[in-house]
Chains A and B, each alone.
Chain A
Amino acid sequence: MYPGFFLRKAGEIAVRQCNRPNYVCAEISSFQCGLPSGTGRRFLSLGAVRKNEVKLPKGSKEPKMPPSSWRALGITAGVGAALWAWMIYAKHEKEEAIRKERSKQIGKAKIGGEWELTDHNGVPRTSKDFHGSWILLYFGFTHCPDICPDEIEKMLEVATLLEKKEDIKVQPLFITVDPERDNVEAVKRYCKEFSPKLLGLTGTNEQITKAAKAFRVYFSAAPAADEDNDYIVDHTIIIYLIDPEGKFVDYYGQNKTAVQMAEHIGSYIDRFKYLRW
């Protein structure tokens, strides 16, 4: 889009300056080449135009090539060349970014995948239902002593920050790794207390194992269940970012703050928009 615009502009200026079509062509071709220096003929022609239009006091003394024209041509050609170079550079950058993104996707294909679970309203859901929106995903359990509530709060804060800053809705999801105790009702009770935005998911042991495996999440109920049959589930503490195409983008550990995460995710969102523009 830029080169055409630029050439038209250059052409227009040339027409206005000299009113002779062959000069226009010369002008355009010099821009097309992007060379700071032109042939002698081009200099002559532009010099002539200058002389005809603006009568410089020095112009009459110098018969063919007044120094001001040299300078004008030099500046014009220089600016043109710089713009042209910038265009080529920007195009190259974008192509490179797309290429890199593709190769990254190949490397990332190992994390994430499809799952089938039931949401906290009892509705069967698959990962495909969430295509089209950015997702933050956390695996945990409702009897979790301290880490899960902190991480869920953080995930919700990130979603709020992104909504404010990027004007983008991010869907926070919670998948339980404790199918034994966390039925639909328990997950609903748990999630609703955090935020109406948070959607909880549960399922059979197999469904949850499949989802956890897809995201390389380790989970294991601690063997030391007490007399009340209470136990703690040891699990991977990671928040996953998934893009609107359902692809895994990045993950965040406990050491990342909500602000850091929102900033980082914001850059991914910008990049996503840019590459699909």
Chain B
Amino acid sequence: MVDSTKKSAEIAPNRAERKACWDSRDAYWKCIEKNGTDAPVCDQLRTEYLNLCPGQWVKHFDRKFIYEQYKKKVEQDGFEPITENAAPKTDTTGGGSKI
């Protein structure tokens, strides 16, 4: 696999590289949506995703995923004010290396 994170600093990913990155990201997202963010089943997919996408893109996409999940939750369950919700159920950020 091409490690595009290294060359991306100088030259932006081209169309094919962008597509490869997005596809690996979508595959990984699909997996964690189904199995949860910490599921070991998705580790391989995450490694591929990290290989194919520039590091800064991964950060951006991870943030986007959390935001999308949060949005979905609000749409489904309605908005819960933080004061009433002492234990942050929505918090998947966890501060770990994964999402």
Contacts and interface: CB of A to CB of B under 8 A. Distances in A.
B64 to A, nearest CB: 8
A190 interface: yes
B8 A230 contact: yes
A231 interface: yes
Given A145-B61, A146-B22, A230 B54 contact: yes
Given A145-B57, A145-B61, A146-B22, A230 B5 contact: yes
B89 interface: no
Contacts of B5: 228, 230
Contact of B55 (A146, A149, A228): A228
Q: Size range of the interface on A?
A: 10 to 19
B12 to A, nearest CB: 4
Contact of B60 (A181, A228, A229, A232): A232
A226 B55 contact: yes
Interface string B60-88: 11000000000000000000000000000
Contacts of B22: 146
Interface string A93-104: 000000000000
Contacts of A145: 53-54, 56-57, 60-61
Contacts of A189: 11-12, 14
B56 A186 contact: no
A226 B14 contact: no
B14 A181 contact: no
A142 B14 CA distance: 9
Interface in B1-58: 5-6, 8-15, 18, 22, 53-57
Interface of A is mostly: loop
A222 to B, nearest CB: 8
B8 A143 contact: yes
A230 B12 CA distance: 10
Interface in A225-245: 226, 228-232
Contact of A229 (B9, B11, B12, B18): B9
Nearest to B13: A143
A186 B15 contact: no
Nearest to A229: B9
A190 B13 CA distance: 9
A143 B54 contact: yes
Contact of A230 (B9, B14, B15): B9
Nearest to B57: A145
A146 B53 CA distance: 11
Contacts of B15: 193
Interface of A: 142-146, 149, 181, 186, 189-190, 193, 222, 224, 226, 228-232
